[in-house]
């Protein structure tokens, strides 16, 4: 099955092209055959600045055929940009690997953009398709294509893949909103601090979690509101004592589930992350993201927090076994009545 450039442009709000596609012999043929469609659609091809950075590095690193091709394509891409055929996206001063930025861009924009990616990178293709299985936040499906040497656009359909690891990375413990709001958070922190040696490694919480907890403080009955205030006070004390540190920008307009997934993609190469989540869907998404293959990094240990402050890996839970995390409306109603002494 083949697609024309016009079909891809007409069915997507944005079409992103990566480094390996630009260096493919079929890329110029693709542009030549699709230039009319691009112009008529009044849409541009999107290329991350990190792709330009990679082409610059390839062009400067050697004098071989790949370096020559990179320099030639840079000139052509810049001409296409000046003609509004190509649009650059992202931060040009960000030196992160282009694959990570493509994944991050899609995480942040798939809720309101229909996005297609044309890539020759098998690992990145697997990762992009895995995003279509994320359940913890809404988003449109990502379409993934590659091109052949004649410039034909072909959907990516391969199913195999591989996984790579980096050794000796420091460990970080992350907690999500549901774990922090659970009865097990305070005893967990007591156990965590007692288990540390001379230097305590602070747990990590995304700034978006604090925002969300503050927002719900006025949405519960008095007893629930008091619990929220106690949680916020505990978090404040942990931060003051450097037992907790914040990550992320509190002004970002995305919910904490997306922020944690975004942060994992960015940090899994630097840290061995233990993610403690009492949100089943988010935990399942993290376990899916452990299959990412387009860049190196440690898989996350994904655990849930019990009321006594102990944790258990989701991998140890049978599919049909209740783990006491997601309350039914009836269970929540009963708990509220008990907390009010009714």
- Tens-digit pLDDT profile for residues 35-55: 888 888 888 899 999 999 999
Cα 35 to Cα 33: distance, rounded to the nearest angstrom:
6
Judged by average pLDDT, the poorest of 62-66, 80-84, 153-157, 228-232 is 62-66
* DSSP assignments along 287-300, one per residue: HHHTT--SS--PPP
Whether 169 shows a pLDDT value over 70: the answer reads no
Q: Which residues pair with 155 in a beta bridge?
A: 145
Whether 255 shows a pLDDT value over 90: the answer reads no
Residues 6 or more apart whose Cβ sits within 8 Å of residue 158: 122, 125, 126
21-35 average pLDDT score: 90
Q: What pLDDT does 77 receive?
A: 92
Q: What pLDDT does 164 receive?
A: 39
Predicted confidence (pLDDT) per residue in 76-111, tens digit: 999 999 988 899 998 888 878 888 889 989 988 988
Token pair, residue 277, equals 């989540």
Cα 191 to Cα 181: distance, rounded to the nearest angstrom:
17
Cα 31 to Cα 34: distance, rounded to the nearest angstrom:
5
Strands (E), the chain: 14-17, 45-48, 86-89, 115-118, 143-147, 153-155, 171-175, 203-206, 244-247, 272-276, 301-305, 311-313
Q: What pLDDT does 334 receive?
A: 58
Which comes out higher in pLDDT, residue 62 or 170? 170
With contact defined as beta carbons under 8 Å apart, do 97 and 295 qualify? yes
pLDDT band at 158 (very low <50, low <70, confident <90, very high): low
Q: What is the mean pLDDT of the chain?
A: 82
Whether 220 shows a pLDDT value over 60: the answer reads no
What architecture is the 5-155 domain classified under in CATH? 3-Layer(aba) Sandwich (3.40)
With contact defined as beta carbons under 8 Å apart, do 173 and 274 qualify? yes
Q: What pLDDT does 322 receive?
A: 43
Region(s) of the chain under CATH 3.40.50.1010: 5-155, 171-339
Look at the domain 171-339 and name its fold.
Answer: Rossmann fold (3.40.50)
Token pair, residue 22, equals 């630009």
Judged by average pLDDT, the poorest of 47-51, 137-141, 182-186, 308-312 is 137-141
Q: What pLDDT does 321 receive?
A: 43
Q: What pLDDT does 341 receive?
A: 46
Classify each residue of 72-100 as buried b or exposed e, where b means 16 or more C-beta atoms within 10 Å of its C-beta.
ebbeebeebbeeebbeebbeeeeebbbbb
- The number of beta carbons lying within 10 Å of the beta carbon of residue 258 is 24
Cα 209 to Cα 199: distance, rounded to the nearest angstrom:
26
Percentage of the chain surpassing pLDDT 70?
82
């Amino acid at each position: 099955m083949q697609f024309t450039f016009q079909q891809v442009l007409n069915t997507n709000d944005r079409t992103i092209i990566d480094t390996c596609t630009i260096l493919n012999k079929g890329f110029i043929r693709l542009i030549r055959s699709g230039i009319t469609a691009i112009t008529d659609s009044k849409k541009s091809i999107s290329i991350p600045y990190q792709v330009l950075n990679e082409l610059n590095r390839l062009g400067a690193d050697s004098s071989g055929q790949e370096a020559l091709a990179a320099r030639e394509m840079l000139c052509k891409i810049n001409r296409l940009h000046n003609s509004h055929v190509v649009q650059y996206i992202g931060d040009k001063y960000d030196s992160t690997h282009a694959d990570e930025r493509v994944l991050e861009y899609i995480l942040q924009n798939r809720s309101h953009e229909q996005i297609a990616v044309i890539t020759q990178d098998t690992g990145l293709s697997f990762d992009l398709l895995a995003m279509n299985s994320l359940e913890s936040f809404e988003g449109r499906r990502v379409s993934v294509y590659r091109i052949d040497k004649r410039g034909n656009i072909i959907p990516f359909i391969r199913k195999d893949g591989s996984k790579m690891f980096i050794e000796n990375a420091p460990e970080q413990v992350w907690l999500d909103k549901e774990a922090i709001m659970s009865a097990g958070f305070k005893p967990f922190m007591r156990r965590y601090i007692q288990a540390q040696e001379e230097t305590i490694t602070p747990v990590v919480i995304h700034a978006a979690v604090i925002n969300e907890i503050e927002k719900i403080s006025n949405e519960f009955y008095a007893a629930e509101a008091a619990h929220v205030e106690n949680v916020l006070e505990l978090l404040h004390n942990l931060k003051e004592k450097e037992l907790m540190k914040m990550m992320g920008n509190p002004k970002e307009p995305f919910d904490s589930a997306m922020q944690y997934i975004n942060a994992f993609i960015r940090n899994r190469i630097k840290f061995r992350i233990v993610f403690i989540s009492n949100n089943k869907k988010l935990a399942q998404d993290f376990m899916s993201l452990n299959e990412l293959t387009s860049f190196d990094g440690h898989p996350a240990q994904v655990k849930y927090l019990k009321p006594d402050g102990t944790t258990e890996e989701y991998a140890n839970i049978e599919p049909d076994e209740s783990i006491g995390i997601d309350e039914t409306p009836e269970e929540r109603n009963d708990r509220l009545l008990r907390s009010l002494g009714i």
